[in-house]
Structure formats: C-alpha cells, structure tokens
Homo-oligomer: A and B are copies of this chain.
Amino acid sequence: MTSITPAAPIGNRAAASEARKQRIRDAALALFSQFGLRGASLDAIADQAGVSKTNLLYYFPSKEKLYVAVLQQILDTWLEPVRAIDAEQSPETAIGDYIRIKVELSRDHAQASRLFCLEMIQGAPLLREDLQSNLRLLVEEKSRVIEGWIARGSLRPVDPHHLIYLLWGTTQHYADFAVQIEAISGRTLADPAFFEATVENITRIVLGGLLPRTNADS
C-alpha cells in the first residue's frame, strides 16, 4: 500500500510482472471476445497466455475482475474519437476524421470492438452505470456541437443522436461482422485498398447522400 514505485529503472521484477499481466490481459481479450465471459475458461486463458491458472489468479483474483480489467482498458480507447469532435472544425472534416479513425479502430482493435459488442448484447451488466452517466453526458455534449452546425447552416437538419448511432453502427460493423464481410466480398480491412474504399464510401454516403442533386432544394 505504502510502496513507492521506483520511477526510473523499474526493477526487473516489476517489469516482468507487468509484462505477464499484459500477456494475460491480451489472452483474456482474445478468448472473451470470442466466447464471452461465461464461454471462456480460465484454463484456456492461462494456457494461451503461457502461464499457470494459479499464476493468473494471483494477478487477477477472480474471473470477473479479469473481465472488468480488460473492459476498462478498452473503454477509453473507444470513446477517444468521440471526444475529439470539436465545434471549431467544419462538420465535413470533423465527421470525415471521425469515420476514418473509427474504421482504423475496427481494423486495429477488432477483438476489443467485438468484446464491447458482446457486453452490449448481454445487457452490459458491468457497464450500465458508466453508460448512463459518462457516456450519456459525452453524447449530449457532442449533440450540442452538431446542433450548432445545423443552426449555423453548415449541416442539414438531423437528429444528432441518430447521426451518432449511425456512425457507430456502421463503423463497428466492419469489426464485428468481419467474417460476414470477408465471406461476401473476400476483402479485409487489412487490405489498404479496401480500407480506403470503406472510409471513402461511408463518408460519401453520410455527407453527400445517395440521391442525385437537383438545384431545387435546401
């Protein structure tokens, strides 16, 4: 409790320990994201992490604690792009940037995206509080930014909530349904051309719309 972690060198001990914990978290993410909290066994996680089950339980005192630890590490990463939305930017660049970053996340942290999705499907028993307070406030804040754009005339009228849901749903889809997408189009976000096409098409639909433009509407 009163231990002062030595700042500079980080004793070999602590470093190795932290590395082990991270290996365990990574293994847990891989298995939890595939089989869920109840579906993944500690044996399998310990095995994949290359440590004994006892050792795993030494670092994380229970399965649920481990699960929460993994989730927590994800959450911040996930909301970061939302926080970055700024009223000073033009809606074009703000939304365009957001789409690109979210698709990058779907490419680079697909497992995290899937675990988050799993947790939501199950009713988010461990995150509900967080959602109702922090996330809600964040969304309200960004909604006002969007409403500002609309009032200023630089965005056509739309309910900010539904816009945010559409952006979330669309971008997450490329991580969570990667198997389906690969089965259908034979491509993956790992393919740079497909990645760019994804960003480009989503952006074009959301910003420009699908219907041809007549010069007779607002």
Q: Which positions in A face B, CB cutoff 8 Å?
A: 33-39, 91-92, 95, 114, 117-118, 120-124, 128, 131-132, 135-136, 139, 153-156, 158-159, 161-163, 165-166, 168-174, 176-177, 179-181, 183-185, 197-198, 201-202, 204-213, 215, 217-218
Contacts and interface: CB of A to CB of B under 8 A. Distances in A.
Contacts of A158: 201, 204-205, 210
A197 B95 contact: no
10 contacts: A34-B122, A39-B39, A118-B118, A124-B183, A128-B179, A155-B210, A158-B201, A162-B201, A165-B174, A166-B173
Given A37-B39, A166-B173, 16 more contacts: A34-B121, A36-B38, A38-B38, A38-B39, A114-B121, A123-B179, A128-B179, A131-B184, A132-B183, A135-B180, A136-B183, A158-B204, A166-B202, A166-B205, A168-B173, A213-B215
